[in-house]
Amino acid sequence: MRLAARSAKLSDRLIEHSIHNARHLVETTYDNLQLTWDGAQIQARKYMPSLKKDTPQYVDELLGMAEGANVNYTELAVVNGLEAVTTDALHLTKCTSLAVNEMNTADGHVLVAHNEELAARLTNPMCISFMLKQKMNQPL
């Protein structure tokens, strides 16, 4: 077998293995993420319109990899966006974000807050990860 053919087979196996590992990770962390493999694919598909618009070259690369390895494109997209997909899952079920512009606060400040309910369950009743309050047009 020629070197190029062996290299292509190895690449295909690595892609398949990466998808298998990502699926296993998502499925075995369901209690924390509340995310199924199907849900992870739905989350990954949500990124596709902006990826196609902003970075079409990466979409083309992923499509080519999926086609060449004969794997599902969306599953490969989950692998490549696993951090974003799992972070989204945590934010959908385990925390809350809030932003209020200066026109809707009593003192004319912008208010941004984020809490981690998962962390709160492990420690205190509420854990504020960050809160920013500032006047518009003033440096942080």
The CATH number linked to 67 is 1.10.10
**Beta strand segments in the chain, E:** 95-100, 109-116, 128-135
What confidence score (pLDDT) does residue 100 get?
84
Q: Which domain holds residue 21?
A: 3-82
Task: Map tokens 């925390």 to a residue.
Answer: 95
63 and 102: one domain? no
The count of domains in the chain is: 2
pTM for the model: 0.62
In angstroms, rounded to a whole number, what is the distance separating the alpha carbons of residues 111 and 130?
A: 11
10 and 77: one domain? yes
- Residues in a beta bridge with 97: 114
pLDDT in tens, 97-133: 778 888 888 888 887 776 655 544 444 444 445 555 6
8 and 69: one domain? yes
In a domain, 140, yes or no: no
74 and 100: one domain? no
77 and 104: one domain? no
67 and 106: one domain? no
DSSP string covering 9-55:
HHHHHHHHHHHHHHHHHHHHTHHHH---HHHHHHHHHHHHHHHHHH-
List of residues 6+ apart from 30 with CB closer than 8 A: 36
Least confident of 33-42, 92-101, 130-139: 130-139
